[in-house]
Structure 1
Amino acid sequence: MDLTLIWKTVLIGVVEGLTEFLPVSSTGHIILAEELLHFQGPPGKVFEIVIQLGSILAVCFLYRRKIWDTVAGVLKREQPAMRFAAAIVVAFLPAAVVGVVAHKYIKSVLFNPMIVAIALIVGGVAILLIERFAQRPRIKTVDDVDLKTAFLIGLCQCLAMVPGVSRAGATIMGARVFRVDRAAAAEFSFFLAIPTMIGATVYDLYKNWSTLNWDGGAMIALGFVAAFISAAIVVGAFVRFISRHGFAVFAWYRIAVGGIALVFLLMR
């Protein structure tokens, strides 16, 4: 790999890791970044799948104690663990069903920079409105999320299939609408991301199996490491930040990036 390709690969991995769990759309940022950098990954879908896996594993690592305690609790049939696990499963189901049904359409029609730019702007405005009018939280921790609220959050997650909407943004803001505390909304979104992203990764592998190859293994490994490290750094800082300052800064960031991207795309 030449030096230019190395820094582009690292940058794409960092973009994935930094944006996957923030309400700014990692898919949208990857599409825009690859467009701006003229980045071409290895043949097939391995690069995109592996850097996303790096972000997933970062969250699994950071929340390993909670994940282990939940698994152990479910095996022992402890009610708090079973209730939390059930909430995650219920929240996961809507996106799993819609993803399987609409996967081909989403990938072929919606994955373009113009849709990303518009979705970033619209999502930013939505965040500002939700932050302005959200009612006082009634759910303070992830363990308190009931099945009805979990299902409604899961329906919101389906919106994130439009690139630029943001899976984290849709689930966190959806949780805020249903009166979940900011930090709890973010953490529930992180846990929900684990089965959702693993499911999407497995389904992508299945659908693209015939085109997959590991050419460019060094690029793939570099992107994975960059995504893992950047995601591990940003997740904890994000929860602390939004607990104190809310989500408005991310809304304005989305509007700015979407606006700049829109102008750039219209001027080409």
Structure 2
Amino acid sequence: MGDLSYLQTIIIAIVEGLTEFLPVSSTGHMIIAQSMLGVQSTEFVKAFTVIIQFGAILSVVVLYWKRFFKLNKCKIFDQQAAADKPFSGKVVVYVKRFIYKFDFYWKLLVAFIPAAFFGFAFSDKIDEMLESVTVVAVMLVIGGIFMLFVDNIFKKVDESKGMTEKKAFNIGLFQCIAMIPGVSRSMATIVGGMAQKMSRKTAAEFSFFLAVPTMFAATAYKLLKLLLEPNGIDILTQNIGALVIGNIVAFIVALLAIKFFISFVTKYGFKAFGYYRIIVGGIILVMMYLGHNLEVV
């Protein structure tokens, strides 16, 4: 089949679908799964763990399609008033009208910009960290400890002003922290939202929406990078089955995981995920201390 067997492909894709939208680090769990399955860290496997995230993010579009494709009606702008303005005034009016109409996508773009910049600038360093199970384990524990207290740290909720460009950009900055394997993109963006006084549910949903442009860009970049490798087209052709199966499995599992997560976190908060992260990260660190080699080769 290529660099991955069907069983390895399905297991890694299940892990991705289950963890992409939970604050437990999908990348970290896939690295751990890869290590335990004895999967060699080839160029394709590195790309595979990113590309199958595309299947997971499609689940967001399917579940939230009414909100994802809804445009604002622009009745607030007076066309006649715009006609009476000088050219520069017309430009300002129509730019505002455009931004208002596509407000949802505009806020996602603003939130996406920081990750696009830092992801491109530090791509090689990120790839290097992706091979370290130690980094994943340490960040799982640190993030887990933080999650035990996050509900108390960000208690105040004020959504009267809705999502603004400033809030979106700040959440985008938080997302950049998740470039460290084991942090969790979901955790970083949800915490970023709660830091902007959003409710847990609102912050989680915006985190899901932001995953779409972020993971789409990451997938496209990884795919392009793979194709530009020597024999990249051959590598892709030999492993096309793994990509198709991986994306389908990740999509189906993520659909179920999102529904569970929104319901759970709205009622109970993040403590359970904090304990989970600490336990998993702690077990990995103990195993490595006892001499078990879990590093990806």
Is the shorter-chain TM-score for this pair beyond 0.5, marking a shared fold?
Answer: yes
Residues 30 and 49 in structure 2, CA contact (< 8 A), matched pair in contact too? no
Residues 31 and 130 in structure 2, CA contact (< 8 A), matched pair in contact too? no
User: More displaced, 100-109 or 48-57?
Assistant: 48-57
Query: Matches of 1:254 and 1:157 in 2, distance apart?
Result: 18
1:6 aligns with 2:6: yes
Where do residues 11-26 of structure 1 align in structure 2 (5 Å cutoff)?
11-26=11-26
How far residue 46 of structure 1 moved from its aligned partner, in angstroms, is 5.1
CA RMSD, Structure 1 to Structure 2 (Å):
2.6
Counterpart in the other structure of 1:199? 217
1:220 aligns with 2:221: no
Query: Matches of 1:113 and 1:5 in 2, distance apart?
Result: 22
How far residue 139 of structure 1 moved from its aligned partner, in angstroms, is 1.9
1:64 aligns with 2:65: yes
Counterpart in the other structure of 2:34? 34
Where do residues 1-268 of structure 1 align in structure 2 (5 Å cutoff)?
5-40=5-40, 44=44, 45=46, 47-70=48-71, 77=97, 81-109=101-129, 111-139=131-159, 144-211=162-229, 212=232, 213-267=236-290, 268=292
Query: Matches of 2:277 and 2:57 in 1, distance apart?
Result: 23
User: More displaced, 146-155 or 79-88?
Assistant: 79-88
In the superposition, the TM-score normalised over structure 1's length comes to 0.89
Post-superposition Cα deviations, 1:184-207, rounded to whole Å, max 9, x if no partner, equal 000000000100111111111222
Query: Matches of 1:109 and 1:11 in 2, distance apart?
Result: 22
Query: Matches of 1:205 and 1:144 in 2, distance apart?
Result: 36
Residues 46 and 220 in structure 1, CA contact (< 8 A), matched pair in contact too? no
* Percent of residue pairs bearing the same amino acid type: 40
Query: Matches of 2:29 and 2:271 in 1, distance apart?
Result: 19
Post-superposition Cα deviations, 1:134-157, rounded to whole Å, max 9, x if no partner, equal 1321127xx921111111111100
Runs of 5+ in structure 2 lacking a partner?
75-96, 293-297
Query: Matches of 2:102 and 2:43 in 1, distance apart?
Result: 42
Q: How many residues align?
A: 264
In the superposition, the TM-score normalised over structure 2's length comes to 0.81
Runs of 5+ in structure 1 lacking a partner?
none
Residues 127 and 173 in structure 1, CA contact (< 8 A), matched pair in contact too? no
Name the SS of the counterpart of 1:23 in structure 2: coil
- Rg comparison, structure with higher value: 2
In structure 2, what residue type is equivalent to 1:190?
Answer: F
